[in-house]
Amino acid sequence: MGSADRPRLGVIVASVRDARVGHTLGEWVAARVREHQGFDVDVIDLAEVALPMTTSEPHHPRTGQYVNESTKAWSARIAACQAFVIVTPEYNYGMPAPLKNALDLVSTEWNYKPVAFASYGGISGGLRSVEHAKQVVLPLRMVPILESVVAPMVFEQIADGVFTPNEVQQGAVKQMLDELSRVTAALRPLQG
Ligand SMILES: Cc1cc2nc3c(=O)[nH]c(=O)nc-3n(C[C@H](O)[C@H](O)[C@H](O)COP(=O)(O)O)c2cc1C
């Protein structure tokens, strides 16, 4: 748990492209989490953590027997969070490969932790990516929540490296964090 017994919320920035826009949304979500005051925040930028591929771990992640130091560090970082927001684009109607790898790399560390999504992209706002991710978080025993942030045509909302939310998104992020807070409290007894 974080300071003053506040749960720790991992804000996962899923895009690692050199020319990405996702980090601007990630920064905006993280700032709203700090404002909300219900969580400590860990911004987990997949472009910075440089995770190994699951192919280089010989054992099933459920065993927790990791051979790579970077996997061990990933395991500890995920275990230290009690909830997550995944900030994700949509690539070919699915989640980005680095996000899938990050989810697959460890297992029990995700168990019984609620997850919300802030998605973005073209006209669909990344919703198909979120549906894809929801299938994958189920066997990890994560609990996806309904409330979310959606940013269609995201590039129209970014200027000089800053994401400017509209009114709907401003309301949605607050509702998302309130619900995440409630569900996190309810799931705490099940978390290891
Ligand atoms: C490989 C690739 C596939 C994409 N596929 C989709 C898609 O299926 N749906 C969509 O709305 N946008 C798609 N896009 C456009 C992205 O929404 C847009 O490039 C966005 O900026 C990607 O997020 P990022 O810049 O944070 O990586 C795709 C972009 C890339 C690079």
Rounded Cα distance between 136 and 182, Å, is 23
**From the CA of 47, how far away is ligand 1's center (Å)?**
16
Residue-level pLDDT at 147: 98
d(Cα 49, Cα 185) in Å, to the nearest integer? 28
Q: What is the pLDDT of residue 1?
A: 57
Closest residue CA from atom 27 of ligand 1:
20
Q: Cα of 91 to ligand 1 centre, how many Å?
A: 5
| Mutation probe of ligand 1 site: the residue of 46, 90, 163 with most atoms within 8 A of C-beta | 90
CA nearest ligand 1 atom 30, residue? 91
Residue with tokens 């909830």: 83
Whole-model pTM over 0.85: yes
| Under-70 pLDDT residues of the chain | 1-4
Residue 2 has a pLDDT of 55
Q: What is the pLDDT of residue 152?
A: 98
Q: By alpha-carbon position, which residue is closest to atom 31 of ligand 1?
A: 91
pLDDT at 107: 97
Q: Which of 86, 91, 156 to mutate to test the pocket of ligand 1 (most atoms within 8 A of CB)?
A: 91
